[in-house]
């Protein structure tokens, strides 16, 4: 019976370049003088969220030389939730399996990344351990 691959999904934290409030500046201060961005951590006005797949990642039956390999898949997702580009880091030694991975992630539907409530083009990072 083949072992099922473990999936560890880690979506890119897209907050780079955003100034975060210090311990005395954030929302929730008792006197109401904090400089929060008008929402919770996940929903604040300036929060940028990374895209994520809308479906569960399919099960893989990797070739023998792939087992035990970790591959990071970087997917550039547009505002409509479609993949524009897929990159494997590192590529596996099996070019046919690489093609299968790229094709699968290109065809998947994604929940787009968002900034200030609007869908944006942003990368998603997914780590697979086979």
Domain ranges of the chain: 6-14+47-129
> What's the rounded Cα separation, in Å, for the pair 5 and 68?
9
Average pLDDT for 92-106: 93
Contact 102, 71 (CB under 8 A): no
Q: Which residues pair with 77 in a beta bridge?
A: 83, 122
Reported CATH class of domain 6-14+47-129: alpha beta
pLDDT in tens, 31-68: 555 565 555 555 555 677 889 888 876 767 889 999 88
């Amino acid at each position: 019976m083949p072992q099922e691959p473990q999936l560890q999904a880690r979506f890119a934290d897209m907050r780079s370049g955003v100034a975060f409030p210090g311990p005395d500046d954030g929302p929730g201060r008792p006197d109401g003088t904090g400089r929060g961005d008008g929402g919770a951590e996940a929903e604040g006005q300036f929060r940028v969220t990374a895209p994520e797949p809308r479906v569960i990642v399919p099960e893989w039956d990797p070739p023998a030389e792939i087992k035990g390999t970790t591959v990071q898949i970087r997917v550039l997702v547009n505002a409509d939730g479609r993949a524009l580009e897929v990159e494997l880091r590192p590529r596996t030694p099996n070019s046919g399996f690489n093609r299968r991975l790229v094709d699968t992630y290109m065809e998947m539907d994604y929940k787009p990344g968002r900034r200030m409530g609007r869908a944006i083009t942003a990368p998603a990072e997914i780590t697979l351990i086979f």
